[in-house]
Each structure stands twice: as C-alpha cells, then as structure tokens.
Structure 1
Amino acid sequence: MKTPYLIVLFLFLLSSAFGQKEVLEQSVNKDYPYLKTFYETCHSHPELSFYEFETAKRLAGELRKAGLEVTEKVGGTGVVGILKNGEGPTVLIRTDLDALPIEEETGLPYASSVQAKDPHGKEVHVMHACGHDVHMTVLLGTARFLATHRELWSGTLVFIGQPAEERGGGAKAMLEDGLYERFAVPDYAVALHVKANMPSGKLGYHTGYAMANVDMMNITVYGKGGHGAYPHTTVDPVVLAAELIVQLQTVVSRNVSPLESAVVTVGSIHGGTKGNVIPNEVKLELTLRSYTDETRNLIISRIEQICKGIGLSSGLPEEMWPKIEMADDFTPALYNDPDLAKRVIAAQKAILGDEQVVETPAVMGGEDFARYGRTEEKVPVFMFWLGAVDPAVYEEAQRKGETLPSLHSSKFAPLPEPTIKTGVKAMSAAVLSLAGKK
C-alpha cells in the first residue's frame, strides 16, 4: 500500500517544482531590466573595504523598497534586511559589498573610473574585480522575488550586505556587532560567489571543506650589517633568510600528510639597499593555506620551530632571532554542510536542470562567509559557485588552451545575462528548499 502513496508524493513534489520554476522564470525575466540597471550602477561605483558607505546606502534603500525591515551600520557599513512571513525556519542570505584597489581594463561602457584613498592614504583606482556587484544584484533580485511571492514560503529571511570580505574582516565585524543577538540566529546560511572559469548559466558546488584557512604571516630576519667585502665581521640576514625560505619548503612536504592539502608561499622578500652593503634585517611576507584547524596549527608551529633553529644557529642573542607576526585578518576555512548542500542542490537542479549544476574541486582561496558557521551556534552554511563567463568566450578559450581573466583581474568582466538571472533563480531555489511551504 506504500507504493501508491510514494508515487502520489513524488508527483506532488514534481508538480510543485514545475510550478515554482514557471513562476520564478516569469518573475526573473520581468525583473531583469531593473536588476541590470542596479548591477551597472554597482559596478561603476565601487568602494573599498569598510568604506562602502554609498554602496550600503544603495542596497539598504532597495531592500526597503522591496518591503524589508532594514538596519544599517551593522559592523561598520553592514546592512541587514529582515523579511518575515509567519512561522518557519530562519534563513540567512549573504552578499559582500566591497571592491578592490585595481584599475579596470574591461572596456565596458559602465566600467569604473573611481579613484579613492586606501587605508594608508594612497590614491588608488577601485574596481569590482571579484563579482561582488553580481552578488549584490542576485541578493536584491532574490529579496524582490520572495517579497512578492510570500505564498511560496514561510519563516524569517535575513538578507545581509557584508562589508570588507576582501580584507577578511567584514563577517567578524558584523558578528561582533551582535548580528545573531540583535536579529536572529539562522537555522541555515547560504551565499554564492561568481566563478571566473565557468560558463554563465551553470552552478558549481563542493561539499565539506570547499575553501581554505587563510593566514598572512610576516617574518623579520635580523642580523648584524656591515661591508660586503668583510662578511666575516657580520651576521648576514640575507643568507639566514635564504636558509629560512629553503627550510619552509619542507613544512608541507615533510610535515603535512600527503592526504591533506596545504600551501606555504613566500610572496615577498625585502632587504638591503646596495650590493656591497650587508643589511641589518630582511623582511619576508608569507601566505599560509590549509583546510583543517589541526593542519593550520601544525604549519604555524613548524614555522616557529624553524625560525628558532635559524636564530640559534646564527649565534645571535635570542632577542634577535627571527620575529613572527600574524596578521589579524585570518579567514577560517569554509565547510559546506553536506546535508544542507544536498537539499539546496536538489532544488537548484529541479529549477535549472541536472546538467547545469556540477560538482567542482575545493580551492585554496578564502572566504570569510565561513565565520557565520563558526560561532557557538554552529549554523550550517553553504556557498555555491555561479558561472559568469560568456559561454562562447569560454568555449573559445577551451579550444585554444587559453587562460581566462581570473577573479581580481583588471579584465574580469562577468556576463550580466544570464549570470544574474541564473543567480536569482539559484538563490531563490535555495531559500525555497529550506523555507518553502509544503
């Protein structure tokens, strides 16, 4: 007797999905001209991390027009928009707001020509080179759709515009400003990110660890300077730094399990002023990448031990051993909750088609969206990829073996349509899979 019941249930869910798909398709197509204008405005008016004053004001105004209860200046320039519709789960939907200090070279008619002062007072060009303008537009489109189609869902939706993702501090700032205490602790948190090597119209996902812990480390190697012709009278920090760099190459290869993934990169080395002068110090800048907290702690511990060894072998007093400084803007690894991902992916496939939603590898990039799942409440989080490349351009690059402009490239130019439409459909489907009326 169970079989007929299961068939009826399956047919009901199938018809429901088809009904939602049609409503969503019509709504997104109708709303697209409005969203495109918003997108072009965001793209041509970028602002740096923690300086997103006009961006936040613009998003807040649009969310109010859509019927949300909006609070501004959360965690600095953060925006929170609440949409309530009876009893049900609380779902957090997040976008980032900030742009990068890059001079745009896309040639788009709405390209940015903005210049601004960075935190150090330096005049820089500013560009949305990481797709945050797309993210904001998708969030707005999703809010507008769900605000006008309350018959499809019930619960509380928390739309947030987060500052300073590029500096790794925006999520932390909003959480420390009482995001969960002042508004609501979500049952789920979802977000998306554009993907610069995936054709527009497609989605990508990875369950479990999807993005890495990101640490920035500075090391100062001290010595005793002097004349380059008399090195025996000095302690050469250039040689010590070179020895340190070589030893750092063993941190991953000889300490981290081959079944784990990690990266230690020395990206900058500065020391000395002239070829015949041995300097007093050399400065190194590193980035460390890992997935698990255990691997992260192991890497940092081994670097500390290597630095102590270099210092001891130099013959210098302990106060002159290499000094390590960790940057404050640590970004924790993003762990996509498998159960949450499964629900969302199924809904997205029902709307977009199985072939449009594909599994992708984990990456060593970082995303502070991870912090929303790292509080004591242990909120399940899921971030998925949104293809943003013109399919014809993608196919041509594949055929020629060429590399497409990456995220953070001055030439990265997402294709607005169908990227924005796909994003709104995908995010709306995600919310409906969690808060949709049965």
Structure 2
Amino acid sequence: MTRVDEVLEGMDATRAWQEEFYRHLHAHPELSSHEVRTAAEVADRLEAFGYEVKRVGGGVVGVLANGPGGTVLARADMDALPVTELTKLPYASNVTAVDESGGTVGVSHACGHDVHVTCLLGAAASLAGGRDAWEGTFVALFQPAEETAAGARGMVDDGLTDQVPRPDVAFAQHVLGLEAGVLGTQAGPTFSAGDSVRITVHGKGSHGSMPHLGVDPVVLAASIVLRLQTIVARETKPGDFAVVTVGSSIAGTKSNIIPDRAVLLVNIRTYDEKVRERVIAGIERIVRAECEASGSPEPPTFEYYDQYPLTDNDPDVTAKVSQAFRSYFGEARVVELGRVTASEDFSRLPAAFGIPYTYWGVGGFAPGQPSYPNHSPYFAPAIQPTLTAGTEALVVATLAYLGKQA
C-alpha cells in the first residue's frame, strides 16, 4: 500500500458526506465578500477534523501540524456569481441577493467554487485521518471574493503571512470543461492577467433635433469601440496574446436627448507584462485622441478595477506534481491543460509568502454530458467522479512534498 493509499483509505466514508455537503453548498451560494454561512460551515468542518482554525480577511484557514517537515498550502475559493441558475437540478440554486448596485440578482455557483470547497475539505479530512503516512504541516485555505479579485488581497492585507506557518509550496485547482476524472497541468503562464477599466467620456448635452449645438458622446463612444479593436488586430505582434473586450457601453436615457457622457466598461487579458502595458497605453491613447477629435469638453477618466495577476506556474513544482499525478492516476488521466484565457487571483497568496506554486484543472463533465463553460447559467459539473478526482489530486500533490519515505 502506498502512502497515498493509506491517506485515502477512508474515501468511501468521505465520499458520502462530500456529496451531501456539495449539494447543500450548491443550493446555498453566497456572493463575493458575503460568504458568511459558507465560511462558518467550512470552519466547523475543519475544527471537527482537528485543525487549528483562523479567520483571516473574510476567509478561513485550517492548520494541521503533524510533526517536523515541510509545509504545504492548498487553496479553494468560496464565492458564487450573480447568475440565475437554469440547470433544473434537484439541488439547483433558487437564491437571490441584492448586488452592489442595489438590484436583485439570482445567485449560483456557476464557476464551480462549490466543487473546490468540497474537494479541499475532503482532502483535509483525509490528511487528518491518515497522519501516519505523512509529516509536516498542511494548511487548508478557503478564500472569499475570487470573482471580484478582492479575496486574496484581502487575506494578505489582514495579516495572512503572520498568522500561518510559511509554506514551502502552494496549490490550487479549478473545475473546468475537461472530461470528469481528468487532470490538466501546465508549466509557466497558465491563467491570463486580467484588468477591467471604466472609461467615462464627456459630451455636451442637447436636443436630439439640434445635434449641432452639442457634442454627441454616443457617436464618440461608438468610434472608440471600433478603434479599440485595432489594438489587438494591428498593434499586437502576431503570436502574442491579448484580448480587448468592450463589455458595456452606456449613454443616454431617451431617443431625442443627446446625453452629456458615455461610460464604457473594457476588459483586458494578457500573458505578458510588456504586452499588458502596451495594451493599456493603447487604450488610453485612442480614447484621448477620439475625445480630442470629437471636441469633447472634458478629458476622459479611467478607473481600473478587478485586476488579476498572471498565474505563472513554477516549472519544477508543476513537473513534480504532474509526475505524482501520472503515477497515481495513470498517463491517460493527466493531460496538458494549455493556456486558459480566464483569470485568477490565487497567485497573490504564494507571492505574499515568496513561494512557488502550481495551479491545475480538474475535469467536471461526464462523457455524453453537455459541457458548458464556467459562468454559464447551465454550468453543473457531474458530482462524480469530479469530487473524488479533485480530492485525490490535492492529497497526491500534498504527499509529493509531505509523504513519508517508504
């Protein structure tokens, strides 16, 4: 029996409560920075497993010391999305909440964070029950507000690095559209850096029948939207990756009124800091030039928010974890993930400690099951083998560093 087998010997019992817990969590999602019930239930579980539990920056951290040795940190995110679930599952979310703008929105785990929480709790339970197979310290970190890029930063700002032992390495995983039971690893840049910017351009209000007396910000915004597409098409070197998306353009309230301003919400994704800097500079240059060309009475304003760091997996850690996965799961179940154009704030945690990390993907969809993208109202991973694979992956990766020698 291997050390992994020793730790996972009780997986049948773990699987039973995990499935029940997952359905409960899926049916009771909470928006970013409001994960009160979820955090309390996670803390209760960790305490029952024998962990020292700390509350840090809206998150929960469980520390299990098991003699001398290294320290591993594993992270799961807890928040849900303002998305109305349309899956019609018996445990589908019917939750609504008031968002930051004061509107009522549906809430669901449309990104699979309920899977992440459940898997990390399962790994925490397995490691607590299999202490004879490993030595060192395991840190289970449950983070709030990943979807708003605020959670990791908030935990660091609340003194995370002073409240838990310094890890040697950090892990995280995400349920994705791979086949259930399959794991995807990737060295180097994996999840893109992300920036959002709110751009306000100013016009001069007038009657719709008298456009010559105003400066129309709707036409100005339309020119900007079209011109921004040239940043990727004509300013970014072929082969370099960049995405510039205008997700919202808002101006005016009535057909016969020329408004005095327009607001654009723009999203940027890159894998290279120099490319990122060029894209941001290009956006600001184009917006200012179009405002000048239109005779805008005031300069535009730029407000950056929801900024995500690049997820850049350490090659040595990734190689070690990938080999451990192949040894346990078999070659066929471990694939190259490739670059994922979505973004993550996980890397702020290992960066705060100054430690290497790796972040992998977990397949969530059974053969024949429709595979919907994350954030879709139909996103609903197969419970099994997804939960078991995600739990086992965390244990296997941890024991690659903390497992006792045979």
Structure 1, gaps ≥5 residues long: 1-17, 398-403
Q: Residue 39 of structure 2 corresponds to which residue in structure 1?
A: 56
Shift of 1:300: 1.2
Give the letter aligned to residue 34 of structure 2.
Answer: Y
Q: In 2, Cα distance between the equivalents of 1:105 and 1:237? A: 37
Structure-to-structure mapping, 1:22-421, within 5 angstroms: 22-24=5-7, 26-72=9-55, 74-76=56-58, 78-195=59-176, 197-317=177-297, 320-327=298-305, 329-375=306-352, 377-393=353-369, 404-421=371-388
| Aligned 8 A contact 1:331 1:367 in 2 | yes
How many residue pairs align between the two structures? Answer: 405
Max Rg structure: 1
Within 1, Cα distance between the matches of 2:385 and 2:296?
62
TM superposition shift of 1:56: 0.5
Distance 1:274 1:392 in 2: 48
1:53 maps to amino acid? V
How far has the Cα of 1:339 moved from its partner?
Answer: 0.7
Residue 362 of structure 1: SS of its match in structure 2?
coil
Q: Which amino acid aligns with 1:414?
A: P
Q: Which runs of 5+ in 2 are unaligned?
A: none
Normalised to the residue count of structure 2, the TM-score between the two structures is 0.95
SS at match of 1:374: helix
Q: Is the 8 A contact 2:3 2:403 kept in 1?
A: no
Which secondary structure does the structure 2 equivalent of 1:249 belong to? helix
Which whole-Å CA distance do the structure 2 matches of 1:410 and 1:69 have between them?
Answer: 37
Alpha-carbon distance, 1:357 to partner: 0.6
**Superposition deviation, residue 21 in structure 1:** 4.8
What is the one-letter code of the residue matched to 1:45? H
User: C-alpha offsets along residues 98-145 of structure 1, whole Å, 9 cap, x if unaligned?
Assistant: 111222222222222222222333332221111111111110111111
Mapped to 2, the partners of 1:293 and 1:154 lie a distance apart of 39
Q: Per the alignment, in what secondary structure is the counterpart of residue 308 of structure 2?
A: coil
Contact 2:8 2:130 in 1 (8 A): no
The DSSP-based 3-state class of the residue aligned with 1:369 is: coil
The one-letter code sitting in structure 2 at the alignment partner of 1:301 is A
2 CA distance for matches of 1:275 and 1:126?
Answer: 33
RMSD of aligned C-alpha atoms? Answer: 1.7
Given that residues 67 and 83 in structure 1 are in contact (C-alpha distance below 8 angstroms), is that contact kept between their aligned partners in structure 2? yes
Question: Contact 1:405/1:412 (CA < 8 Å) preserved in 2?
Answer: yes
Aligned residue for 2:126, secondary structure, equals helix
Secondary structure (helix, strand or coil) at the match of 2:368 reads helix
In 2: Cα distance, 1:301 partner to 1:69 partner: 47
Which deviations, in whole Å up to 9, do the C-alpha atoms of 1:241-287 show, x marking residues without a partner?
22212221122223222232111111111122333332211111111
Tell me the TM-score normalised to structure 1 length.
0.88
Q: Report the Cα distance in structure 2 between the residues aligned to 1:266 and 1:237, rounded to whole angstroms.
A: 16
Q: CA deviation at 1:378?
A: 2.7
